[in-house]
Structures are given as C-alpha cells and as structure tokens.
Amino acid sequence: MATAHERRVGVAMDFSEGSKAALKWTVENVVRGGDYLILFMVVKTELEGKSQLWEQGGSPLIPLCDLGEGQILKGYGVTPDAEVVTLLEQVAREKNIVVVGKVYYGDPREKLCDAATDFPLSCMVVGSRGLGPLKRAILGSVSNYVVNTAQCPVTVVKH
C-alpha cells in the first residue's frame, strides 16, 4: 500500500470542458492527503526556443504557485485558466496534496503515455470530447489511445 507522497495521480489538461470535468472528478474521487497531483498539458504546435529544448522530456515541473502566473505558462505556450488554478489551490489546501504541472510538446496521445512512464503514475485521468464513432474513427481518440497504451491505469471521464 502506498504511503504519503507515493501516489502520483496524473490528469491530462487542455483546459477544455472535458478536461476540467476530468480534473473535478479526480479531486472529488481519487486524490487524498499526501498525494501528488500532476497536470499534464500537451502543446501540439511547435514553438521556438523552449519547446525545442524540451521536445523530448517536456518542461521542468511547474509548482502550483507558478501555474497561476499567466506569463510563466504563456512562456511554455499554454494559456492559463483562472477557474482551474482556483480549484487546484483550494484542493491543495483542503486535502494537503502537492500540485505540479508539466508541459509536453507534440502528439497528445504519445506524450501522455510518455508521462505515465516518466513519473511513474499510480493512475491517469483523461477527459473525453464525446466524439461519435465516425468522428472518432476519422479524427482518432486521445483517450482511447491512452487507455490502450499507457503503462498505468487510466480513467476516462465523459463531460
């Protein structure tokens, strides 16, 4: 059984309604005192400078206090969301958890699976856009790929 600060719970976060629902579900149902909650943000577009520097392994870990700083996240190519930061600050205080973020660059399917291996995670939670069978076949499903490929248990939360 994992002791304090041994569980690492990952949440895929693109700040869409589906990923916000996944985060809310995670903090209500999964995380408990002493856990690490890691937000994985994947930037699909290629950026100059930092993205090339961190193309393989992603950014350094970003502490919760910096996740609310607009300029810091924008430097990584991510647009921060005040609602998400407020929720994370509240949960960190109430449940005594450590919250960090990490930005990866590239294909979200592959990078989320890399994240599950890099840390290693106790579990990962991803949101679902709710694509129908036809759109999912054409566009592909990040959640489906991660469920079938990641090296940890994965939960998909439908919005």
Tell me: the pLDDT tens digits for 83-123? 999 999 999 999 999 999 999 988 999 999 999 999 989 99
The better pLDDT of the pair 142, 140 is held by 142
CB 50 within 8 A of CB 78: no
- 3 domain residue, yes or no: no
Whether residue 141 is predicted with pLDDT greater than 70 in this model: the reply is yes
In this prediction, residue 74 has a pLDDT band, given cuts at 50, 70 and 90, of confident
Whether residue 9 is predicted with pLDDT greater than 90 in this model: the reply is yes
- 88 domain residue, yes or no: yes
What pLDDT score does 136 carry?
47
CB 30 within 8 A of CB 141: no
Identify the domain containing residue 41 by its residue range. Answer: 8-154
| DSSP code for 60 | P
Question: What beta strand segments (E) does the chain contain?
Answer: 8-12, 36-43, 62-63, 98-105, 123-128, 154-158
Per-residue pLDDT tens over the stretch 25-60: 999 999 999 999 999 999 887 656 555 566 677 888
Number of domains into which the chain is organized: 1
Tokens 């919760």 found at: 64
Q: Which of 7-16, 22-31, 125-134 has the lowest mean pLDDT?
A: 125-134
- 95 domain residue, yes or no: yes
CATH of the domain at 76: 3.40.50.620
- 2 domain residue, yes or no: no
Inter-axis angle of helices 82-95 and 17-29, nearest 10: 10
- 159 domain residue, yes or no: no
